[in-house]
């Protein structure tokens, strides 16, 4: 769509609006895509809603229980390396 091309649509009796296919394809908005509707001074803004709720580190930090002494950085590095070797060996 060029900057000069204007697309129009019509509001149905149920308040539904069909978005032009060129916009839906460019935005990859398939059937069932949830959109956030925002009323702005310039018009109505549609944005796809995020797939997941935004979280902060403090919301999830230490969310899994751990029993025992904390691992050292060296122990964690050794564990990661051992797992990488195990996965590489099976390929």
Domain range annotation of the chain: 1-65
Cα–Cα–Cα angle for 11, 45, 16, nearest 5°? 20
Distance CA 55, CA 74 (A): 29
pLDDT in tens, 21-32: 999 999 999 999
pLDDT in tens, 18-63: 999 999 999 999 999 999 999 999 999 999 998 888 888 888 777 7
Distance CA 72, CA 36 (A): 45
pTM (2 decimals)?
A: 0.51
Measured in degrees and rounded to the nearest 5, phi and psi for residue 50 equal: -65, 150
Residues 6+ apart with CB under 8 A from 55: none
Determine the topology of domain 1-65 in CATH: Pemi-like Protein 1; Chain: D (2.10.260)
């Amino acid at each position: 769509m060029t900057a000069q091309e204007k697309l129009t649509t019509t509001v149905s009796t149920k308040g539904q609006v069909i978005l032009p296919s060129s916009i839906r394809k460019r935005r990859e908005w398939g059937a069932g895509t949830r959109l956030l509707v925002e009323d702005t001074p310039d018009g109505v803004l549609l944005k796809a809603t995020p797939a997941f709720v935004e979280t902060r580190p403090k919301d999830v930090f230490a969310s899994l229980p751990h029993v025992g002494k904390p691992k050292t950085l060296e122990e964690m590095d050794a564990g990661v390396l051992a797992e990488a070797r195990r996965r590489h060996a099976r390929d």
